[in-house]
Each structure stands twice: as C-alpha cells, then as structure tokens.
Amino acid sequence: VRGVAPRFGLAAVGSDPRALTEAVARHTGRPPHEIGHLLYGEAPGDDAALVTLADDLDTLAAQLREGSHTHESGHRD
C-alpha cells in the first residue's frame, strides 16, 4: 500500500483505505470490493491461500505498472 498510495496523490501512511481502493479500482478497471480485499483483507488462512494472494497482488502490481486494464485471460483493453 505504501508504494501505491503516492502514485494516486495519497499519503503513503494514514491514507483513507476507501480513497486508495477507489483510485486503484478506477485505474485498473477492477471492482472496488476486489481491490479492497487484496489490499486490506484478512490474512490468508493457509499456504494455498497465501500463494493465491501473492499471485493476485503480482497481477495487480503489473496492472498498475502497465497503466492498462488486464483481465484474468491476460488480454488488455
């Protein structure tokens, strides 16, 4: 979160989670509830869930770097 917030003009620490969630959702085209879960959701309960979260965060980071919408299929808008 600290690395993402400044990109959207938000403080790296102490930013409103809703503001960051909405900014990332707009930028990526992903639903806000999905972004909120990735950034602020509960910790994974097992190794498989941890691997899934890491993969999902890598995908989100790639979308933020690319500045375009990338869907699960790998196709961009």
**pLDDT tens-digit map of 14-71:** 778 999 999 999 999 999 999 999 999 999 999 999 999 999 999 999 999 887 554 4
The phi-psi region of residue 69 (left if phi > 0; otherwise alpha if psi is between -120 and 50; otherwise beta) is beta
pTM of the model: 0.74
Residue 75 pLDDT > 90, yes or no? no
End-to-end distance of the chain based on CA atoms, in angstroms? 25
Half-sphere exposure of 14 (CA within 13 A, CB side): 1
Residue tagged 């409103």 (tokens): 16
